[in-house]
Amino acid sequence: MEDLTADDTYQLDPSTADSVLDESKESDLMKPPSIFTPELLTECTKVTYRFRCPGPGVFQCTLTGLVFVVDQEAGLLYRTVQWDERILQLSAGKMVAGLLFDIQCPEGGLSELHLPHSVSKEALRPDLLSVSSDGIHPMEPLKVTNTHMIVKLHHQSTLGVIYNFFIPSLTINGQVLLFLQPPNTQWRILNVVLLQDSIPLQEVKSQQCGAEFINISGECPLIHGQSYSVHSDCEEAFIQPSVSPHAQTLQPPLHRHTLQPPLHTCGFQEYSFRLKYGPNFPPSFEVFLPRECNEVTLMLQKDDEMREVIWERKVSLPGLLQAAARNLEQDNVSEEKLRSCRLKFIECMSSPNLDKVLDELHDRGVISDSEREKVAGERGRDKARMVVDMVLKKGDEACSDLIDLVRKGDPYLSRKLNI
């Protein structure tokens, strides 16, 4: 996230002059903030960020992009929460423009908040954005910068950025995130996630179920409603969009002749980009690569008449030996991991998820027909206790299967159990 400077500031209309900062305070506001990385607290399925400001000043969170202005030493607790979509649909044409943050400062002292947005500098207008807790009742911002909305706080609150009106084909500052799935017998699979740049990486990482984040520059402009496709220089690659409620009707496999070789686009490529604000951030594309592939060039292209490539990177993938070694190391401690979280598993495992895990364990041959019938007669925590104890007695491979099923079926519980 960029630091705030006076050059990045949009002045409000003169009719809103009462909400503009005085010159002395504006000078303090526009000083570069002190950067901090918060402590992460995990409770059940919620992640909370925590930081203690040592004194008065401006402090910017590296994980969320939030900037806090405090008048004294103060403790901060904040997390993302879900917008109420039912209310938003009644909000007279307004649109969500950022994550909704629940921000607590129990000791007081929090005077101003800078909420990140993703609108590109070219598309940004002073009347475009506002801040709200419900999408209906906006707060007038003190300032709009290229990266943030700045608001004055009179009390602790839940706040997020909204668009004041519907804007088709809005250009935003986007990001391309890459995650390499654990190796399997046939493919190396890259998850490609397209998001606005104000979405914290931490929120996306937590949902990747063991996939490894590939740290590579991913900044690129994205357009709400625009169709995109991913291409590679690997002849054997197969590329498809992930199934997502945001995806539009997919077209049959296409073979592009408008780009110069060697670009390969086997599979269903087109994906209509939609702004996402949680709670889930599924992959936009999946790139299937041969197991021996350790390097690939990826390109993101607009699917319009120009076929413009807006992002292109050479991606170096971890070697198979290193990936296999990490996987083997993880498998060797599966029993130990499961044993260490046994009590939490019994307490937190929901009945529907447990029934699904039980069916999968049976299908994988981990538990027998008679064991399945025995477990089915139990209820609640007794049922969860019987399942985990039964698996623990079968050794490390069985424990690895149970851990894998929990990761895939309930990533939030997996994070809670630290498995």
Cα 191 to chain centroid distance, Å, stands at: 13
183 domain-assigned: yes
Confidence of residue 43 (pLDDT cuts 50, 70, 90): low
Co-location of 52 and 88 in the same domain: yes
- Residue that is written with structure tokens 């008449």 in the block: 305
Co-location of 368 and 403 in the same domain: yes
Q: Other CB atoms closer than 10 Å to residue 393's CB: what's the count?
A: 10
pLDDT of residue 211: 86
Strands (DSSP E) along 210-341, which ranges?
212-214, 219-223, 227-232, 238-241, 271-272, 285-290, 295-302, 309-316
Confidence of residue 244 (pLDDT cuts 50, 70, 90): very low
Specify the DSSP element, H or E, that contains 87. Answer: helix 85-88
Whole-structure pTM value:
0.64
Q: What percent of the chain has pLDDT over 90?
A: 32
325 domain-assigned: no
Q: Residue 39 forms beta bridges with which residues?
A: 50
What confidence tens digit (pLDDT) does each residue in 248-306 have? Answer: 333 333 333 233 334 444 444 578 888 888 778 889 999 999 988 889 999 999 988 88
pLDDT of residue 104: 92
Co-location of 120 and 47 in the same domain: yes
pLDDT of residue 385: 92
pLDDT of residue 274: 87
Cβ atoms 290, 188 nearer than 8 A:
yes
C-alpha dihedral, 407 to 412 to 418 to 419, nearest 10°: 0
297 domain-assigned: yes
| Cβ-based neighbours of 359, under 8 Å, separated by 6 or more | none
Q: Please name which of 37, 33, 25 lies closest in space to residue 3, comparing C-alpha atoms.
A: 33
Q: What mean pLDDT do residues 50-72 have?
A: 94
Number of domains in the chain: 3
Co-location of 139 and 180 in the same domain: no
Q: Which of 319, 343, 371 is the last residue of a domain?
A: 319
Co-location of 146 and 200 in the same domain: no
Q: Which of 319, 349, 383 is the last residue of a domain?
A: 319
206: Cα within 13 Å, side-chain hemisphere: 24
SS3 391: helix
What confidence tens digit (pLDDT) does each residue in 97-110 have? Answer: 888 999 999 888 89
What confidence tens digit (pLDDT) does each residue in 144-159 have? Answer: 998 999 999 866 778 9
Asked if residue 398 has pLDDT above 70, the reply is yes
pLDDT of residue 378: 86
Q: Is the dihedral of CA 215, 219, 224, 226 positive or negative?
A: negative
Asked if residue 330 has pLDDT above 60, the reply is no
Q: Which residue has the higher pLDDT, 154 or 235?
A: 235
Q: Please name which of 116, 157, 156, 131 lies closest in space to residue 19, comparing C-alpha atoms.
A: 131
1 domain-assigned: no
Q: What mean pLDDT do residues 367-374 have?
A: 88
How many whole angstroms separate alpha carbon 33 and alpha carbon 148?
13
Q: Residue 196 forms beta bridges with which residues?
A: 174
Q: Residue 19 maps to which CATH number? A: 2.60.220
Q: Which residue has the higher pLDDT, 136 or 38?
A: 38
Q: Range of 399's domain?
A: 333-417
Q: Other CB atoms closer than 10 Å to residue 27's CB: what's the count?
A: 11
Asked if residue 23 has pLDDT above 90, the reply is no
Q: Please name which of 220, 225, 208 lies closest in space to residue 176, comparing C-alpha atoms.
A: 220
pLDDT of residue 186: 81
253 domain-assigned: yes
> Longest Cα pair distance anywhere in the chain, in angstroms?
77
Co-location of 180 and 311 in the same domain: yes
Q: What mean pLDDT do residues 182-198 have?
A: 88
pLDDT of residue 292: 86
pLDDT of residue 53: 94
217 domain-assigned: yes
Co-location of 197 and 219 in the same domain: yes
Q: What mean pLDDT do residues 386-408 have?
A: 88
Co-location of 99 and 125 in the same domain: yes
pLDDT of residue 148: 93
Q: What mean pLDDT do residues 23-33 have?
A: 54
Co-location of 151 and 176 in the same domain: no
Confidence of residue 30 (pLDDT cuts 50, 70, 90): low
Q: Which of 120, 145, 163 is the last residue of a domain?
A: 163
Cβ atoms 135, 91 nearer than 8 A:
yes
How many whole angstroms separate alpha carbon 176 and alpha carbon 250?
21
228 domain-assigned: yes
Specify the DSSP element, H or E, that contains 41. Answer: strand 39-43
Q: Which residue has the higher pLDDT, 212 or 8?
A: 212
Q: What percent of the chain has pLDDT over 70?
A: 79
Confidence of residue 31 (pLDDT cuts 50, 70, 90): low
Q: Which two tokens stand for residue 413?
A: 């519980």
Co-location of 44 and 148 in the same domain: yes
SS3 6: helix
- Residue that is written with structure tokens 């400077």 in the block: 5
Co-location of 137 and 227 in the same domain: no
Question: CA 50 → CA 74, 110, 376, distances in Å?
Answer: 11, 14, 42
Co-location of 377 and 287 in the same domain: no
How many whole angstroms separate alpha carbon 81 and alpha carbon 103?
10
Q: Residue 400 maps to which CATH number? A: 1.10.533.10
Cβ atoms 124, 143 nearer than 8 A:
no
328 domain-assigned: no
Q: Residue 244 maps to which CATH number? A: 2.60.40.2660
